[in-house]
Structure 1
Amino acid sequence: MEASAFPLTCTTRLTISPPLSAQRRILLLPTSRSTSALVLRRSMSKDEPLIDGLPKEYYDDEWQARQREKTKELHRLRQEEEEEEERKVEEYREIGMRLKGYPEEDVRKARKLVSSLIRAAEEVEEKIEEAAERGELTELLLMVIWNRLDLARRDDEKDAVRSLDLLYRRVETEILKREASPAMRLLNDLLNMHDGFDNEGWLKECKKHMVETFPREDPFSILVPAGFDLDKHEGPLRPPLEADNALLRVDFVREVDALLQEVRYEQDLLQSAQGLDAESVASRLKQQEKQRTIHQVEALLDLAINLQW
């Protein structure tokens, strides 16, 4: 019996399956998609679905913790800014209340005068003197300048602070000069004559100015008015009217001596600041400037005591 050969009619490709252990290894190999899913699900609960369009950091606990810290910091900064703004508003309100006790019309005129002085630039000295002659240099004017200066300091406007500070000092000096006694006005004029270098030349000029200011104190000038001729017995018998307002040397000496005693007492109470910080250095420089002025006043007092015509 012959064996007949049956041709293979099955065209299906036979694939050889790998062993079971190899299949397990293949199934456990992560793909790129499965890796992202594992990272995203690290901080997710099993029931929370993935949302398309959100960054993967959204599901990261560490990233969310950092974001919460940033949010807290932003809230803190915003609160600080609001508190600073509220503080400034309160300060501005306080500055505005300083002028509440003055008449509105006077405040308006004072503000107008301050604006004109600021615009005067190089002519500010003349404007101040003209205002002083009109009697417009008052405490209210100083308060208006101080308010502007305070606002400029709070807004850190350095140029405005410098200009307003100089204006305040100049107006204050002019007011004090107008209110001071003749002796103090003369002392101020003599001190302003010093150029800071030639001390001997300054003393000569001061002596000349004193001789022209103080009335003569010789016996004839005391008993006989100036201009009266003793030989002919002719001339005015009454002193001129302006002689009533003349500054006597003895009055100048008395007031300057009292001023020096007061200043020396204050200087003895003050202790020189120690240290190399900016505040200590500035304090020492200020004390040195006061000492130089005191020495100049002492020299003027000695000059007035020993003055000879």
Structure 2
Amino acid sequence: MGFKLLSLTSLSLSPFPLFTPPFLLSTIPSSLSKSTPGAVTSLTTTRCVNNEKEEVLLPGMPKEYYDDEWQAKQRERTKELRQRQREEDEEEERKIEEYREVGMRLKGYPEEDVRNARKLVSSFIRAEEEIEQKIEEAAEKGILTELVLMVIWNRLDLARRDNEKDAIRSLDLLYRRVETEILKREATPAMRLLNDLLIMYDGFDYEEWLKKCKKRMIDTFPREDPYSILVPPGFESFDIDKLEGPLSPPPEHDDTLLRVDFVREVDELLQEVRVEQSEVENEAGFDPESVANRLKQQERQQSIRQVEALLDLAIGLKW
């Protein structure tokens, strides 16, 4: 068993002896009867461990400091803290590398184009309620390009890494809207008309929507009847008696959409979509991902039925 050995050494600098006879107390001034301020006291504590080794105990330290079990726990805690700090440093390095990778995506584009694209995206973000008008104006000017989409995607990627939910939602909607506008500008007249007809549906009155679509088709497609075949558009005021020189047809407009072209392209689109739908299997289960996939499938099926209705309407269209 270990035991403690305490040694106390006091060194007094007082000019008087440690023991003063009682008869001399009355002759000592009261100011000198107390300890002299210059007195030095030293305290040394030692501990014997298993009667073999003496360890000097530092004054002022808590008793847990000399507990081996407590020290082992402290060393383990220090190791965990260092491991956590190392993991945090590695995570920070990984994020820096990811941010650097995001920034390098635009290195292949001219700096002036990148600068203009960033300004355009910033104007979209600040537009608020006027964002639709801003996007349409940019599309008409022809400045909605793949680079603009890349700038929006970079911002969206950074927002996802920083877990900024509001920014993620706004940038995701902006990306989809700009992408839709770009695809709309690059699409054929038939696909643009199909997109406009689908947008006209408000989700409530299906029959009223079909009536509006029929009116839009009649206004868009050139008239098809025996008279229009014999007298094509542009020759309504033609007078054979006043004809001089060769007969030349009027210049054709590139945006003229024939009903037969609309029917053909929509039918091809439906065939492609049906092939894709046959390859997709409905997911079972009630987890969030499965439910979301089923909802997407239902929405897709509804859009397909609307396109089929528009195709039937165009096939049976009568003026």
Contact 1:194 1:202 in 2 (8 A): yes
Question: Quick one: distance in 2 between partners of 1:235 and 1:42?
Answer: 131
Question: Quick one: distance in 1 between partners of 2:177 and 2:51?
Answer: 74
- Distance change (3 Å), C-alpha of 1:43 and 1:145: farther
Q: Summarize the alignment of residues 280-295 of structure 1 with structure 2, pairs less than 5 Å apart.
A: 280-295=290-305
1:54 aligns with 2:54: no
Contact 2:48 2:54 in 1 (8 A): no
- Distance change (3 Å), C-alpha of 1:41 and 1:159: farther
- Distance change (3 Å), C-alpha of 1:59 and 1:261: same
Aligned-pair distance for 1:245?
3.2
Deviations 1:160-182 (A, max 9, x none): 11111111111100000000000
Q: Summarize the alignment of residues 76-95 of structure 1 with structure 2, pairs less than 5 Å apart.
A: 76-95=83-102
RMSD: 2.6
Q: Summarize the alignment of residues 225-236 of structure 1 with structure 2, pairs less than 5 Å apart.
A: 225-226=232-233, 228=236
TM-score, structure 1 as length reference: 0.82
Residue 22 of structure 1: aligned partner: none
Residue 197 of structure 1: aligned partner: 204
Q: Return the structure number with greater helix share.
A: 1
Question: Quick one: distance in 2 between partners of 1:159 and 1:280?
Answer: 25
2:75 to 55, 68, 75: 68
Q: How many residues align?
A: 273
Contact 2:222 2:258 in 1 (8 A): yes
- Distance change (3 Å), C-alpha of 1:265 and 1:209: same
Aligned-pair distance for 1:46?
2.9
Deviations 1:264-309 (A, max 9, x none): 1011111111211111111111111111100100010011011111
1:181 aligns with 2:181: no
Aligned-pair distance for 1:45?
6.6
Identity percentage over the alignment?
72
- Bigger drift between 238-247 and 72-81 goes to 238-247
Deviations 1:196-217 (A, max 9, x none): 1111111110011001111111
- Distance change (3 Å), C-alpha of 1:238 and 1:220: farther
Contact 2:190 2:257 in 1 (8 A): yes
Q: Return the structure number with greater strand share.
A: 2
Any unmatched runs of 5+ in structure 2? 7-46
2:228 to 206, 221, 224: 221
Aligned-pair distance for 1:239?
6.2
Question: Quick one: distance in 2 between partners of 1:114 and 1:259?
Answer: 32
1:135 aligns with 2:158: no
Contact 1:142 1:172 in 2 (8 A): yes
Question: Quick one: distance in 1 between partners of 2:270 and 2:50?
Answer: 82
Contact 1:42 1:60 in 2 (8 A): no
2:317 corresponds to which letter in structure 1?
L
Contact 2:49 2:55 in 1 (8 A): no
TM-score, structure 2 as length reference: 0.80
Q: Summarize the alignment of residues 262-273 of structure 1 with structure 2, pairs less than 5 Å apart.
A: 262-273=272-283
Any unmatched runs of 5+ in structure 1? 1-29, 34-39
Deviations 1:224-282 (A, max 9, x none): 0347269x879998765465531000000000000000011011111111211111111
Structure 1 SS opposite 2:53: coil
1:277 aligns with 2:278: no
